[in-house]
A and B are shown apart, each in its own frame.
Chain A
Amino acid sequence: MDYGLTLALIGAGLAALLAGIGSAIGISTAGKSATGVLSEKPERYGQMFIMVVLPGTQGFYGFLAAFLVMLNLNFFAEEGVPELSTTLGLQVLIACLPIAFAGLVSAIFQGRVCSGGILMAAKRPEMAFKAGVVYAVMVEVYAVLGLLVTMFMLMFGIDWPT
């Protein structure tokens, strides 16, 4: 009996799940900082917004990877999902891991960087973009790299059944 499809689905699930968990934690950290500042300075909402939503991107990256797996497995086609060998399923699972873990960890730490940026923006609004957002984007880069590796492996490294 082949477990290929199960393994591939676990891979897609992990990509969406772990990156999503990371984003939720990151947004909650940044969001708590933002609400703390906004409780005293509500006029800073615009500046805070970008830094609160930035850790949310990893969740979308995870979703994108999972969607790519589902697309290649013909989830949305009428003919149904094809049989997958265990080896192929394992390849799909491994291909999903970069964005799953890079997304999880980078989102949590990006949330902390955003939190620091929010505190700085509270005192030095002119530095909100220059330092707050730019530093947070630096963390984002590694989530993007994770997504790219996952996408390249899924698109060019796996011989999907037709």
Chain B
Amino acid sequence: MPELAEQAILDFYTYPPIGGDDWRYTFQTAQVRTLEIQMLSRAALLDMANAENFEQAADLLSGSEYALPRGGKDFAEVEEILQQRRAAVRELFSDLMLDEPTVELFRTRDDFANLRLAVRRTMTEKPLGTDYSSGGNVPPELIEQIFSEEDVFSKPVFPDYVQEAVEQAVLAYYQQKDIRRIDYAIDSVQAQYNLRQARRLRSVFLLGFFRIQIDLTNIRTMLRLKFTESEQPNVFLEGGFIELERFRHGLELGYEALGPLFFVTPYHRIVDTGANYLASNKSFLRVEQQCDEHLTGFLKSTVLITAGPQPIIAFLLMKENEIRTVRLILTAKKNHLDTKLILDRIS
């Protein structure tokens, strides 16, 4: 599969290749295509953002799968419904995917998220808590037990990728006693694990997806480092389409020069718009929105696939994104945030 080899950036204009059809997935693809029709439209989300208050925004969901029980206007109820929907989507994904390793790969997202919490809390000597996600491959009870006994290294019981992430995170923290290093270390292990698995699964789509994710994370990191004027050039993730030297060079330039620096990359608009907005509004809203939009654009390119795992993976990710957007709008409305800010984030 020559497409699986490392790709030069100029091989594509906006999005990398998504791979070919896999006719084992004919039924599954048809099912998600139909479910995609039921997703909230952009207009519906904009209407919610433009609603006067939380109640009105919640009312706009009445005809959708996120509808609150009659009379329910409590945010806790909203959160419960959103969590139910997310669990249902993940269950559907697990049912539809014929390749179990792909399902396990997406479950590792929760493992890494749980790990971030557990390691952060352990390192800062805070209570370990019980609010871990149960959607991962490692049961949350095991994470709680191992970390509470502080027994992570003496008898490794976690899968290799979790064990590696813990070791790297702890090491990174003790090197600089900086809590952010934990996140950088876990992000790095996660990114490399994802790339390894995508190559093992011989999935052109997943490889492209994870490499875009790495690039977008690096763009965010670059802008955050510039904004906070931190000097940590070694926190960029390896394995994306963009060479790390470009990000390091970006740290030395002004905001106005970032757009031209990324002109030859598919991320020119993201960096240009995000950096200008950051410079003028001191806010990361626009870069977050642009990153989401770029990733969604890549996922939407799976419309070219008649049968294959790509549309199913894309559906899971777009649905999760929809749930996040609904939560974001309702949270913002509940906290009486300015409508313009919400629109800047989602539109």
Contact = CB atoms under 8 A, between A and B. Distances in A.
A36 B34 contact: yes
Contacts of A119: 29-30, 33, 306
B153 interface: no
Interface magnitude class on chain B: 10 to 19
10 contacts: A29-B307, A33-B30, A33-B307, A35-B27, A36-B27, A112-B306, A115-B30, A115-B307, A119-B30, A122-B34
A35 B30 contact: yes
Interface string B25-48: 011111101111100000000000
A122 B33 contact: yes
B230 to A, nearest CB: 46
Contacts, number: 53
Rank and list the top 3 A-B pairs by shortest CB-CB distance, nearest first: A36-B30, A40-B34, A32-B26
A131 to B, nearest CB: 13
A130 interface: no
Given A29-B307, A32-B26, A36-B28, 19 more contacts: A29-B23, A32-B27, A32-B30, A33-B306, A33-B307, A36-B27, A36-B33, A36-B34, A37-B33, A39-B31, A39-B34, A40-B31, A112-B21, A118-B30, A119-B29, A119-B30, A119-B33, A123-B33, A123-B37
A118 B35 CA distance: 14
Interface in A97-135: 112, 115-116, 118-119, 122-123
B37 A36 contact: no
Contact of A36 (B21, B23, B29): B29
A34 interface: yes
Nearest to B37: A123
Nearest to B26: A32
Interface string B121-147: 000000000000000000000000000
